[in-house]
Structure 1
Amino acid sequence: MSIRWKLILTFLLVSILPLVLAGGSGYLHINQVSSLALKESARSLEIAYKQLAEQKTLDIKKALEYFVSNKMIRDDNFHIEDLQFDPAFTSLGIQTFGKTGYSCILEKKKDKFSYFLHPNPKMIGRDITSLIARNIKFKRLFLRAVAKGFASGIAEISSVKSFYVLSNIEGTSLYILTKVSYSEIEGPIQALKKRFNEEKETFLMQYYVGGLTTGALVLLIALWFSIRLARPITYLTEVAERISLGELEAPIDITSTDEIGDLADALRRMQVSLRKAIQRLQRRSQRR
């Protein structure tokens, strides 16, 4: 390999290798930061939605308990079933939460649960005891609510993952159930993940463009420098070859003051020394 290509490769390695290492390290760091940010964001959103759903359920519970207690005080012939036809009770018990979430009222008779009020009127009166029994997490949620009066947790029903809050309306056999689809939590996370991926792609694009530009500039500089350095060395090599063939008067047209100039001066001194040595030998041979 010629000295020119050695110089070019040296320039490229010295300049490009740190750039590659720095870019790779930066990309790994971005990946780590984005993964950590997504994880923490998901956890924070889940906690926030849980707290909001629980608080909303408790607010509805208090409003319904106050409503029912007033009904009991004012109406001696009050029956729980009458609440199904009370618009005020319905407006308090059936509320929306976010885009897909809602609250509904369940009735517990003995060990069976059914919809007492629901946003979909067709669901009213439907027994959900078998549905509860088929889903372990959902069943545990109801068992805790029956035992403690309040429970919350995540369950997956019909392949739909949701967050549920269940609370008893004191003094009645009614329970308020708040449901929030987990997609409302995952939606912002997916949007954030998409944004992070876009930022990473932008970083990679800028890195590639910067790397290629830097590589091209380094290559041009290396070519220019190698030509400037290799040309006089090649010239001096040719002169040395001519001197070795006996051309002691071969001109050395290099006047630089750097190491190349020192090499040229050394060749000139060698020419002078060789000429003097030859002259001495010629004089000795003439004397004989």
Structure 2
Amino acid sequence: MTKSIESRLIIVFGLLILMVMFVSSFFIIDRVKNYFYQDVQKKIDFMVSSSLLQLLQDRNLKKEDLQDIIDQTMKESQYGFMINKLIVTDSQGRVIASFPRLNSSFFPSDEILNSLSGYRVVKQDGEKQVLIFSYPIRDGKAVSRALYLEVSTQNVLGTVKDIKDILLMAYLISIAFSLLIGLLFAKTLSNPLRRLTEKALKMAEGDLDVAIDIASKDEIGKLADAFARMAKNIKMYISELEFEKQKLERILQNMSDGVVAINSKKEIIHINESARKFLNGDIQDFVERMLKENREDENGVSIYEKEDYTLEVSKAIFIDSYSAQGYIFIIHDITQQARLDSMRKQFVANVSHELRTPITTIKTYSETLLDVHDEETKRQFLSVIIKECDRMTRLVSDLLYLSRLDSGENILNTEEVSLSELVRFVCEKLKIHAERKNQTLSCSILQDVVAMVDRDKMEQVLINLIGNAITYVQEGGRIEVILQKEEDSTKIIVKDNGPGIPQEDLPRIFERFYRVDKARSRELGGSGLGLSIADEIVRAHGGRILVESKVGSGTTFTVVLPVQKDRKLL
């Protein structure tokens, strides 16, 4: 059971007062008792030495005379009431005279014997409550008689008892007042401490705005001031920590990289939104796999593949609140990089494959040509070799052109061009190819449009789009080219009723070397780079190419160019 500071102060204060009073009472009573004993001794010494001893020294006094002297002294002496016994003995210890009268004629006490030897004896007898005095009576130098007195101490003891009673009453009153004063003192000391404790408990519960209203100037007041300063400083530090925490949380939550932190008990203590998006609910599976993962590269990085994501995970160790090792996993999304690496590898493989085919054809025909003597056959073989060389030339030119686009080189030579005239020119240029397949190629110019473009590059885009339509649309098909101007853009639409493009192929048709119908594309001499080049050219002009298609219903390509500078032609 805990004791309050008040009770402890009162107990200590009371014990201290009791101890002081006990010690002081002991000394006071002892000194008072000694004082009264010494007073009695002085009175008896004065009475005996002033008259009685002188009267008893006369050797000629008879026994009756001595008795008369004793009786007369007891009557006249003011201290006679204190004397219980008075005896005069001769040098042999025989009683000569006494008060009261004794029947015995011999009084052989130790005190008488000591006095007959010449010593004055003063002795206290506690049992009888008397003081014993024994005096030698000299006749010249020799001791002729001895005087023995027993003086009652009842008055002394009664006086001491009265003093004890008075002291006890005084002590009880003093203790009562002292305890009251101690209680008041304890309250004046404990009340500020109690209030300070209540404020400290509120501070411990998180309320740092409590007012500490203790105005004393002593150590408690200094302690209260220290608490107030501490609360102010703690509030400031907590505000700073809260600001830093919010800042770190905001940074972590808005990081493009994912962050997952777990403690030594494999409990997730932090995860940001990017990590949730990457892991898509399989957080525990990710943690277990990362902890069990033994295959790490030299940089301590692991690769984790999750559905559509390829993630690069690095691990860091920290000491958690259990004084054990926790882990922080930094998740970097390398999906695009992995996809680009895959595309690069595929691109290299496609380039190698596209070049290998004409090179193999050229080599085969060249070797065969060495053994051919027929001129017509030689001419046919040489025609094939030239065709494959042209194909290689186009392929290399397209690759060089794409390389220039990828390097960021400015390949545009823009000028004010009439798009209306350019569309008509390309349509007329390619109409002969459409007529060979009995196709209808129509050109619809809704508005005359002038724009700042590179004429040659835009002509290449139109030739590619319209040429692809002519190539892939069946005989007797229909191709329509439309030029229209809208409020914030210019659109060139190439629409056909050909076989269309499957939905799964639409997102990839602008990839390099990608062909929807690979066998037919190679048959027709396509490299799979035309649409990629067209898309890059349009993007360089700040525009984009849109495609809509449905299998069996045809395809629509739309070139959207931003309005830069245009005017109507007169």
How high is the TM-score relative to the length of structure 2? 0.33
SS class of match (2:103): coil
Distance 2:15 2:162 in 1: 25
State the partner residue of 1:143.
113
Distance 1:158 1:79 in 2: 35
Distance 2:10 2:138 in 1: 66
- Match among 37, 44, 62 for residue 46 of structure 1: 37
The 5-angstrom pairing of residues 156-195 of structure 1 reads 156=125, 159-166=128-135, 168=137, 177-195=148-166
- Please tell me whether residue 212 in structure 1 is matched to residue 189 in structure 2: no
Q: Counterpart amino acid of 2:205?
A: T
Q: Do 1:57 and 1:177's aligned partners in 2 also have CA atoms closer than 8 Å?
A: no
- Match among 95, 100, 118 for residue 82 of structure 2: 100
The 5-angstrom pairing of residues 1-288 of structure 1 reads 24-25=15-16, 27-61=18-52, 64=55, 80-81=63-64, 90-92=71-73, 94=75, 95-97=77-79, 99-101=81-83, 104=86, 106=88, 108=90, 112-113=94-95, 116=97, 118=99, 123-124=100-101, 126-127=103-104, 129=106, 132-133=107-108, 139-148=109-118, 151-154=120-123, 156=125, 159-166=128-135, 168=137, 177-236=148-207, 258-280=229-251, 281-282=253-254, 284=256, 285=274
Q: Would you tell me which structure has more strand in proportion to its own residues?
A: 2
Q: How many residues align?
A: 235
Deviations 1:78-115 (A, max 9, x none): 9653676x6x884345435165326746465975325x
Identity among equivalent pairs (%): 9
Q: Do 2:85 and 2:149's aligned partners in 1 also have CA atoms closer than 8 Å?
A: yes
How high is the TM-score relative to the length of structure 1? 0.56
Q: Do 2:91 and 2:145's aligned partners in 1 also have CA atoms closer than 8 Å?
A: no
Distance 1:140 1:273 in 2: 100
Q: Do 2:134 and 2:146's aligned partners in 1 also have CA atoms closer than 8 Å?
A: no
Deviations 1:113-164 (A, max 9, x none): 25x463xxxx4362252xx34xxxxx1222234444x743336598453323
Higher RCO (C-alpha 8 Å, min separation 6): 1
Q: Counterpart amino acid of 2:51?
A: I
Q: Do 1:106 and 1:177's aligned partners in 2 also have CA atoms closer than 8 Å?
A: yes
In structure 2, the CA distance between the partners of 1:192 and 1:98, relative to structure 1 (3 Å rule), is: farther
Distance 1:157 1:259 in 2: 69
Q: Gapped runs of 5+ residues in structure 2?
A: 209-227, 257-273, 278-332, 334-570
Shift of 1:186: 3.4
Distance 1:107 1:259 in 2: 92
Deviations 1:195-251 (A, max 9, x none): 4444444443334323333344444333322333332442459xxxxxxxxxxxxxx
Q: CA RMSD in A?
A: 4.7
SS class of match (2:132): strand
SS class of match (2:254): helix
Of 54-63 and 161-170, more deviation after overlay is shown by 161-170
SS class of match (2:205): helix
Q: Do 1:57 and 1:176's aligned partners in 2 also have CA atoms closer than 8 Å?
A: no
Distance 2:124 2:247 in 1: 103
Distance 1:79 1:110 in 2: 16
In structure 2, the CA distance between the partners of 1:99 and 1:199, relative to structure 1 (3 Å rule), is: farther
Distance 1:192 1:157 in 2: 19
SS class of match (1:179): strand
Q: Counterpart amino acid of 1:52?
A: K
Of 94-103 and 44-53, more deviation after overlay is shown by 94-103
Distance 2:183 2:133 in 1: 54
